[in-house]
Amino acid sequence: MRIRSVALRTNNITGNIKLRMKTILRNLLSVLRRFKMATLLNVLGLSVAFSAFILIMMQVDYDRNFDRGIKDVDRIFRVEVAYESGTKQAIINRPLAEAFIRSSPHILAGSLLDPWGEGAFFYTEENGVRNNFKERWMRVFPEYADIFTFDMLDGSADKLKEPNMVLLPLSLSSKLFGNQSAVGKQLHMANSKGVFTVGGVYRDFPDNSSVGNSIYYQLNPKENFQNFGNWNYIPACSRISRRISMYLPYRKISLGKEVECLWS
């Protein structure tokens, strides 16, 4: 008898809950039918609010994690020239950049980047078939891959030390050669401007990164080596040891943490 009484009480509670839920739903539908415009405005307002919140949080996440995918990002800096007028610029000449890189033993590595590289036309050839492409090429010192710690998936970043050798991002490697290994493949420049060989494939950097997923190749070691009048290069950051102090030379050079695209 006791067990039966408990079962009846449970069934009664379940029935009351169902009845109340039906009543609430019926009242809700009645209100919606009665106040259609107000309901529509409320739904639209909530939709806009949630959409705005999601977009804002996406931007916050993008900014908070900018460059966080780069190893030791807190030790990487961009060299800028600061003028007495208060203006600054990141584009400097090569001799000045070279002198700064050599100025302190705490600067473990330094590199230059030529930011003026636009999309270049080239083609690949497979079984007599040409496939034409246009991608962005960037000229850098070989140390560039060391500073930003390129995650090499195939080949070696040291190939940047050799002329006519390039590094490709994985996404572009897949676009050009599918599932085949890109190392050793050739990129033929349009108008017979030369042939480059793929020396390595690196993992793509995220979109919120100062490093672009470009085709990288060696900057000519002798180019404008002593030309103080050619201001065309970005000192593409220097990896600084953790013991760095404020005793770096060149009063008119300031170190600014790299937080924006190097070639924007």
pLDDT of residue 12: 66
* 160 close to 199: Cβ distance less than 8 angstroms: yes
Low-confidence ranges of the chain (pLDDT < 50): 1, 3, 6, 242-264
- Tokens 């033929």 found at: 188
pLDDT of residue 263: 30
pLDDT of residue 15: 67
Amino acid present at 227: N
Amino acid present at 103: S
Q: Specify which residues 254 forms β-bridges with.
A: 80
pLDDT of residue 249: 31
Q: How far is CA 243 from CA 28, 52, 108, 200, 246, in A?
A: 67, 44, 11, 33, 10
pLDDT of residue 127: 83
pLDDT of residue 256: 40
Tokens (6 digits) for 205:
């950097």
Backbone phi and psi for residue 36, each to the nearest 5 degrees, phi listed first: -65, -45
pLDDT of residue 5: 52
* 254 close to 82: Cβ distance less than 8 angstroms: yes
pLDDT of residue 9: 56
Does the pTM surpass 0.85? The reply is no
Q: How far apart are CA 113 and CA 121, in angstroms?
A: 20
Give the torsion sign (CA, 250, 253, 258, 263).
Answer: negative
| Model confidence pLDDT, tens digit, residues 173-207 | 999 999 999 999 999 998 777 899 999 999 999 98
| Model confidence pLDDT, tens digit, residues 125-138 | 888 888 999 999 99
pLDDT of residue 7: 52
